[in-house]
Each structure stands twice: as structure tokens, then as C-alpha cells.
């Protein structure tokens, strides 16, 4: 994908490009889909951030139409409970199913919570060989560290002014997935960073396993495709050090820390060129891959 084409996509996604999105079932998952004129094209599957509107968030349709304007099929599946800020294995499984059904080869793109899910999905053995590239904007790496940050306000041993959603989302995810673990509420009620490790250790082994399973830091080494990470240096939702840790843990990972983002929203400032270059590198493999279609779509 040329830099000119990446700029075209960035400008289209930031504006209101022409073309329609349709609701379809892709791999049994409700999804928003946009296609370029001419039909068949390389496929990009986008995993959205945790927003109450889900894939109905207007920015999602703008991004998909921007992808279509740049010559791609854009697919955004509605992942279970992500609207509510809840991360579960079911969301990863739904993303894997949608990506497998979307085409024989796919590029995965994700934002915030969706970026973390994208890395987890790209590491799934049934999908990994079919992924051209992964682009992740402001992912978290360790759910355990997000729990520490959300409950105590500390990250890497220092106070960190995190957005309120960090505490809300991490608590919802843990409560939903481990409702019968008596240690969950004690951990979530704690505000003392010195007690976090003791309270975390008291959780049931199954809960520990779930937290590890949903932490991209433990999966990224199993991603076959090149991975692009993009994060704002002052991100209040997913600290930039989460992306730095992911870059160290993975293979073929390129990290860009930029001033051109406010969490997942591009900003018109000198660092905005980083966003364009990130898009260009992520989608280069998609543009070079064999043209494919979304397989057997059905209206939702």
C-alpha cells in the first residue's frame, strides 16, 4: 500500500466517504460490512473499542467506508459484550470465526479493547496462518496490570492518572467471568497498591488462568504475521508501556509511540503522519494479497 493510498484512507475515514455499509452475518457474527466498487477485494477485519454504540458508532462506518474507498472490503463484527466494556474468551472466539469466514486471507485491525482482542485472535492456531498483518492501536498487554491500575491507580510502581473506564471495564470483565470466586470483590475493593499482589494471589486458579488467557502479552509471540503497534505517549486508557511490553514479547513487531493520537482518535498535529504511516504499513500486505470476498454473507 503506497503512502498516497494510506493518506486517501486516512482522509476518507476522517471525513464521510460515499458508499453504504450493510449488516451481515459473517461466520455467524453480526457485522457491519463495506465493499469497494467492483466487488472482490482484500479483506480487513476491524475490532472496535469498547463503546456503548458498538459497531453502530459512526466512526466505525466512516472507517469501513474509508477502507472501501481505498480498495478493501471492511468488516467490523459486533463482538459479545465488548459494548459493555467486558472482555471474555467468547469475544476472541467470535472475532476468530468472523475473520475465518471473511476471506481466505485477512488483515486484522483493532482499537483499544479491540486491539487487544485482535492480537489474541491473530494468535489462534486456526486463524494465525491466514493473517496477512495485524494493526493494533492502543492495546493493553496484561489484564493483570489493568486490574492493578484500575483498582489502585498505580502502574509500574508509580501513580498513574488513568481514565475512569479502566477501572470500570476491568471490574466488569472480572466479575462477569469469575462470578463465584470469593476473592474477586476483595481485590476490586482494594485501593492499596501494597496489597494488590496478596489479593491477586488469593484468587482461584481458574480466575488466574482466565486473566492470563485474556492477556495479549502471553499470546503475541504466537502471531505469525507482522504486527504494527501504535499508541499515544500520554494515553490515559492503555499506558504506552503496555505496548512497549508487547513489542518486546512479540516477533516481527514494530512499535510507534506518537503525539498524533488521543487514545484511539487521530489528531491534526505533527504526529498525525505517524498514523498515516501505521495504516500504510499495516495494509500493505492486505493490498498485495490475493483478492477475495466476504464468504456467503447473509443479511442480519
In the predicted model, is pLDDT for residue 293 greater than 50?
no
Hunting for cell 472475532 — which residue is that? 95
Compute CA distances 21 → 12, 218, 237, 299, 300, whole Å: 14, 35, 29, 12, 12
- Cβ neighbours for 286, distance < 8 A, ≥ 6 positions apart: 1, 42, 43, 44, 72, 106, 107, 132, 133
What's the mean pLDDT in 79-104? 97
Let me know: does 225 contact 285? Beta carbons within 8 Å: yes
pLDDT of residue 15: 54
Contacts of 35 (CB under 8 A, 6+ apart): 41, 68, 73, 294
Compute the distance between CA of residue 105 and CA of residue 54 in angstroms, rounded to an integer.
25
pLDDT tens readout for residues 109-135: 999 999 999 999 999 999 999 999 999
Q: What is the pLDDT of residue 270?
A: 65
Q: Which residues pair with 299 in a beta bridge?
A: 24
Query: What is the rounded CA–CA span in Å between residue 31 and residue 175?
Result: 27
Higher local confidence (pLDDT), 298 or 53: 53
pLDDT, tens digit (0-9, with 9 covering 90-100), for 249-269: 999 899 999 877 776 677 656
For the chain, domain boundaries:
3-141+216-299, 143-211
In this prediction, residue 265 carries a pLDDT of 75
Please report, in angstroms and rounded to a whole number, the separation of the first and last CA atoms in the chain: 32
HSE-CB for 244 with a 13 A CA cutoff: 9
**Strands 73-77 vs 29-34: parallel, antiparallel or unpaired:** antiparallel
Treating both helix axes as pointing N-terminal to C-terminal, what angle do 3-14 and 272-288 enclose, rounded to 10 degrees? 110
Superfamily of domain 3-141+216-299: Alpha/Beta hydrolase fold, catalytic domain (3.40.50.1820)
pLDDT higher than threshold 90 for residue 37: no
Q: What is the mean pLDDT of the chain?
A: 88
- pTM, two decimal places: 0.90
Average pLDDT estimate for 210-218? 97
Contacts of 256 (CB under 8 A, 6+ apart): 228, 229, 230, 231, 274, 277, 278
Amino acid at each position: 500500500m503506497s503512502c498516497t493510498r494510506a493518506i486517501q484512507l486516512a482522509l476518507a475515514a476522517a471525513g464521510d466517504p460515499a458508499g453504504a455499509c450493510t449488516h451481515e452475518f459473517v461466520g455467524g457474527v453480526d457485522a457491519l460490512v463495506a465493499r469497494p466498487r467492483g466487488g472482490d477485494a482484500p479483506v480487513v477485519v476491524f475490532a472496535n473499542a469498547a463503546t456503548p454504540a458498538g459497531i453502530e458508532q459512526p466512526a466505525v462506518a466512516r472507517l469501513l467506508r474509508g477502507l472501501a474507498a481505498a480498495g478493501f472490503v471492511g468488516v467490523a463484527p459486533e463482538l459479545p459484550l465488548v459494548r459493555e466494556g467486558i472482555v471474555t474468551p467468547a469475544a476472541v472466539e467470535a472475532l476468530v470465526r468472523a475473520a475465518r469466514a471473511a476471506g481466505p486471507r485477512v488483515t486484522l485491525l483493532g482499537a483499544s479493547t479491540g486491539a487487544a482482542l485482535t492480537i489474541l485472535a491473530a494468535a489462534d492456531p486456526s486463524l494465525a496462518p491466514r493473517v496477512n498483518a495485524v494493526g493494533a492501536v492502543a492495546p493493553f498487554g496484561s489484564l493483570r496490570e489493568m486490574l492493578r491500575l484500575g483498582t489502585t491507580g498505580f502502574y509500574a510502581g508509580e501513580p498513574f492518572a488513568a481514565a475512569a473506564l479502566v477501572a470500570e471495564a476491568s471490574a466488569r470483565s472480572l466479575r462477569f467471568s469469575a462470578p463465584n470466586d470469593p476473592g474477586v470483590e476483595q481485590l476490586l475493593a482494594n485501593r492499596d497498591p501494597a496489597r494488590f499482589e496478596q489479593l491477586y494471589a488469593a484468587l482461584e486458579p481458574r480466575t488466574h488462568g482466565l486473566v492470563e488467557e485474556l492477556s495479549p502479552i502471553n499470546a503475541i509471540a504466537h502471531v505469525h504475521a507482522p504486527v504494527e503497534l501504535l499508541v499515544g505517549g500520554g494515553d490515559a486508557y492503555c499506558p504506552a508501556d503496555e505496548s512497549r511490553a508487547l513489542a518486546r514479547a512479540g516477533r516481527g513487531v514494530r512499535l510507534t509511540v506518537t503525539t498524533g493520537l488521543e487514545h484511539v482518535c487521530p489528531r491534526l498535529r505533527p504526529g498525525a503522519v505517524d498514523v498515516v504511516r501505521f495504516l500504510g504499513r499495516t495494509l500493505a500486505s492486505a493490498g498485495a494479497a490475493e483478492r477475495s470476498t466476504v464468504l456467503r454473507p447473509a443479511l442480519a
